Structure 1
């Protein structure tokens, strides 16, 4: 048996992202995860059910890509195809490394069959074969997206994990940067029912260990993990593949509907929380590349207005059809288990899941700001900390950064605003773990410059509204903030009760308690801005329309009730900016993704102007004539000014996280976006069309 390498413990502070013995790290000096002790024989199981490590069929050293790379951490095979695509396919086609990690086997009831009428015979249950069939379906779908050939070959190998067991590592032949990792823990087999032997049961302490459910063709041997070992396993995979961007489903989905229940699969939620904890552990290690995180809406997206036009929806569903193995007579994968998930074959669109993609965070477009001295400041979240980029005044000045400020546990997505004295204030939310993983909560935080252009002070907690951030209702939007003409700073967010809430900074530097502003069944992130008179305008979407609150006068309270704008449903994301004496709002049209622009002078919108960008998605950054967003290809693009019909110029190569932001810079406009490689990219108009996008700092 090989000796273990020296270990060091990473004990994280309570106010940081993770704390205490719950996440004692298994790290070696220098930041790499410990190589596991390995036996000379495969398949041995140690006492207590924990698998002995087995020889690796591939190198267990870290993968260090020269460019940005992506890791996706999901509960089940197909979570990526339904909820993360087309982002997954875009990453595969970009030629940059991507690793998809499936935490459970997805074995369900073990019946690989379409839905049958009541009383009709069903095939026998075989969880191992059904898990293998789902793996085959994912391999086919990924091969199709990457190469156009669903039958492309994969190399399957055993990978020791930092949790003490093994996982299966699949690599697409001829594409060494495309990996699938099958952890193969048992799934809950129920969407919301109380199943102690599940990720949720393990997280909450209902069981001490969670056992494996191995696919029939896997080279892995049985194992069982404690909650700490699950965290260590995921953190070890992150350390090995060293992604610059990580995708998970939403760890804090909204409670909705008549019974105020979470409309998502419990495995989605808890795989994302285990990933959160693993990322917090990994962020404490040394010498890793900066990483960003993107969370995706799961089941809930099917009950919201559709994101895509029909051609994009059909293209997404076509990949699901490969996974679903629509023709069971075509055993192209040569597997006795089958080549896909026949349960999905009766409805490859899911519950309207193929029609949309939604980010549950990072929708803010106010994270780029101009300083009092005309310098530029950009803010994002890297390594679960606030990242700051700065460009001094002047066209020839260069960018510096990113500088990562103290304070762990930051959730993706921040907003910013400028105070009357020229200082900048940044707002976000953070997730806090206590001594145990179950000590889990979220809160709103703010950081303010100590002087105009100066350093930022420490994060200050603003808490959270009632029934939000604690006690199982963890859903909070990204905050949005505005300073009215009287100099009053207010911050707004959607709470777990799906209403809008506000807090205001008093003259003595104290924040008021959160006050409800109403609204019902709000979704997405609200947006606030001011008009030329200094009045605050606040906007938030529902599944049916757009609501607004308009301040009567600077210094006056906002209305206690929202006004219905009468606008049609949108894809539940918004951008807003001052425009003359009014406020211009941008949103994407449901069922097409086309960007719509409307002007508000009060609570009544103008007729909408269609700016095109069919099947693009996510919010747009807008300042002056510059409008920028994400096209259907996923790449950065800018609206061509002066064209007779809406025309978008795509960069074609820069995939990015969240939404771009834009600000007015004298007579010009500047826009920025954070790439999946962790770099800031920017463009400016410079008296004409926007210049090509370029990295802001090296």
Structure 2
């Protein structure tokens, strides 16, 4: 019995010593065999793994670069319009409804542009057919080209070309063979009549009815191509961009107070041209709106040599227009409705509309 006590004591000391070495004190449990003098085994001390020495951390951090956002793909450059005509000088673009409109309402401005060797790009929107078909229309086209010969001082022939704009509208263009800075483009849409009700021969179609959605399409007089309002607007915008005008001459638009007594085609073309110029990025200060029939209430302001040239050019035109009756240039002043306009030329600015 004495040995057992001593054994336990020794083992206890050893166990305690081991516990002291590790900081842990082993726990013993007494069983029934202990009373019989059987020594109890000592629980082994747990083995501790030393903690690894921490790695030194840098005092500064390297910033993570922002991810590079890829640039969007460059859109393809749109193809140049087939209407594009290069010009080494400033360009005056005239967009009119009928073949005599610029001769009556925008001259001597047109004549002065030619005399200054500027590029002149004229666009006529309707065929001016008055429901009488292409034979009458093409005769009037010959008239305007002959009148331009008077203004530009040459009677050399014009080069004719037919092509389709990128918009899809077929057009006809004449360019002076001896002076490519002067060209005339014909869209040949039907004449809409004074009040915009059209003519029976062309199905009562008119620009005015197209603009007010009374009809959804209009047809060219020569090829009967179908033309929607969107197509017409896109075509005029394309022509404006292609000619890069310094100044745009057109007629007073429908939205202006000054259009109330004018021809329906005049005001429709004015509105279409205004929208096209804006879409093409032409500054408003470069838009000039010729007053039409209503300018008779204003003083005559075209006189002298300028009036003589204006009358001669218009009289030359009338020789191809069976509706016009002028025996002499001066006699043209007596034409009903717009003879008085030959002595006048007035433009409104965009701000004055």
Deviations 1:39-75 (A, max 9, x none): xxxxxxxxxxxxxxxxxxxxx2633423211110010
Paired residue for 2:101, among 47, 55, 79?
A: 79
Q: Is the 8 A contact 1:302 1:352 kept in 2?
A: yes
Separation in structure 2 between the aligned mates of residue 178 and residue 302 of structure 1, nearest angstrom: 30
> Aligned residue for 2:38?
none
**2:142 equivalent in structure 1:** 136
* Cα distance change on mapping 1:61 and 1:170 into 2, 3 Å: closer
- Please state how far the C-alpha of 1:243 moved relative to its aligned partner: 1.3
- Is it true that 1:301 corresponds to 2:312 in the alignment? no
| Contact 1:244 1:289 survives alignment (8 Å) | no
Aligned residues of 2:151 and 2:309 also touching (Cα < 8 A): no
Q: What stretches of structure 1 move > 6 A for 4+ residues in a row?
A: 288-291
Find the counterpart in structure 2 of residue 314 from structure 1.
Answer: 308
- One of 238, 249, 252 as aligned partner of 1:250: 252
Counterpart among 257, 260, 263 of residue 261 in structure 2: 263
SS at match of 1:343: coil
Q: Return the index of the structure with the highest Cα Rg.
A: 2
Kindly provide the CA deviation profile for residues 112-134 of structure 1, in whole angstroms up to 9, marking residues without a partner as x.
Answer: xxxxxxxxxxxxxxx21110111
Name whichever of 174-183 and 232-241 sits farther off: 232-241
Q: Deviation of residue 341 (structure 1)?
A: 1.2
SS in 2 for 1:275: helix
Give the direction of change, closer, same or farther, for the CA distance of 1:164–1:206 in structure 2 (3 Å limit). Answer: same
How much does 1:291 deviate? Answer: 7.9
Q: What is the TM-score with the length of structure 1 in the denominator?
A: 0.36
Instruction: Please name the residue that 2:321 is paired with.
Output: 341
Question: Per-residue displacement from partner, 1:388-409 (whole Å, max 9, x unpaired)?
Answer: xxxxxxxxxxxxxxxxxxxxxx
User: Root-mean-square deviation (CA), in Å?
Assistant: 2.5
Q: CA deviation at 1:275?
A: 0.9
CA distance in structure 1 between the aligned counterparts of 2:211 and 2:89, rounded to whole angstroms: 35
Q: Which residue pairs with 1:171 in the alignment? A: 175
Q: Secondary structure at the match of 1:246?
A: strand
- Contact 1:323 / 1:341 at 8 angstroms: preserved in 2? yes
Secondary structure in 1 matching 2:195: coil
> In the aligned structure 1, how far is the partner of 2:99 from the partner of 2:185?
11
Give 1:69's match in structure 2, choosing from 83, 91, 94.
Answer: 91
Deviation of 1:88 after TM superposition, in Å, equals: 0.4
The answer to whether the 8 Å contact 2:295/2:341 transfers is yes
In 2: Cα distance, 1:70 partner to 1:314 partner:
22
Partner residue of 2:272 out of 267, 271, 274: 274
CA deviation after TM superposition for structure 1 residue 95, in Å? 1.4
Distance 1:348 1:194 in 2: 28
Aligned match of 2:111 in 89, 104, 107?
89
The alpha carbon displacement at 1:163 in A equals: 2.9
Separation in 2, partners of 1:290, 1:302: 26
- 1:203 counterpart (186, 191, 211): 211
- Tell me by how many angstroms 1:320 deviates: 0.3
* In structure 2, C-alpha distance between the alignment counterparts of 1:170 and 1:291, rounded to whole Å: 29
Deviations 1:116-159 (A, max 9, x none): xxxxxxxxxxx211101110000101111112x4x420010012
Q: Give the whole-Å Cα distance in 2 for the aligned partners of 1:264 and 1:206.
A: 20
Q: CA deviation at 1:270?
A: 0.3
Residues 431-450 of structure 1: matches in 2 within 5 Å? none
Does the aligned pair in 1 maintain the 2:131–2:191 contact within 8 Å? Answer: no
> Residues 279 and 155 of structure 1: is their aligned pair in 2 closer, same or farther, counting only changes over 3 Å?
same
**Retained in 2: the 8 A contact 1:321–1:345?**
no
Q: Looking at both structures, which has the greater relative contact order when contacts are Cα pairs under 8 Å and sequence separation is at least 6?
A: 2
Partner of 1:192: 195
Q: Shift in Å at residue 29 of structure 1?
A: 4.5
C-alpha distance 142-198 of structure 1, shift in aligned 2 (>3 A): same
Alignment partner of 2:343 out of 355, 379, 397: 355
Secondary structure at the counterpart of residue 240 of structure 2: helix
Correspondence list, 1:318-333, <5 A: 318-325=312-319
* Alpha-carbon distance, 1:290 to partner: 10
What's the CA shift for 1:360? 1.7
**Contact persistence 1:70–1:98 (CA under 8 A):** yes
**Structure 2 CA distance for aligned equivalents of residues 289 and 250 of structure 1:** 17
Q: Secondary structure at the match of 2:161?
A: strand
* Preserved contact between residue 253 and residue 264 of structure 1 (Cα < 8 Å): no
Structure richer in helix, relative to its length:
2
The structure carrying a bigger strand percent of its residues is 1
Shift of 1:236: 1.1
| TM-score, normalisation: structure 2 | 0.69
Q: 1:78 to 1:61 in 2, by over 3 A?
A: closer
Task: Say whether the 8 Å CA contact 1:105–1:183 is kept in structure 2.
Answer: yes
For 1:108 and 1:62, the matched residues in 2 are separated by 30
Distance 1:61 1:320, change over 3 A: closer
Whole-Å separation in 1 of the counterparts to 2:304 and 2:112? 18
What's the offset of the Cα at 1:255? Answer: 5.6
Query: What SS does the corresponding residue of 1:171 show, helix, strand or coil?
Result: strand
Assess if the C-alpha contact under 8 Å between 1:244 and 1:290 holds in 2: no
Which residue of 1 is the match for residue 235 of structure 2? 233
Aligned length: 266
On the 8 A contact 2:197/2:205 being kept in 1, the answer is no
What is aligned with 1:155? 159
**Take 1:152 and 1:291, find their aligned partners in 2: how far apart are those partners?**
35
The Cα of 1:162 is off from its aligned counterpart by: 3.2
Task: Select the residue among 91, 105, 114 that pairs with 2:127.
Answer: 105
8 Å Cα contact 1:170-1:179 kept in structure 2: yes
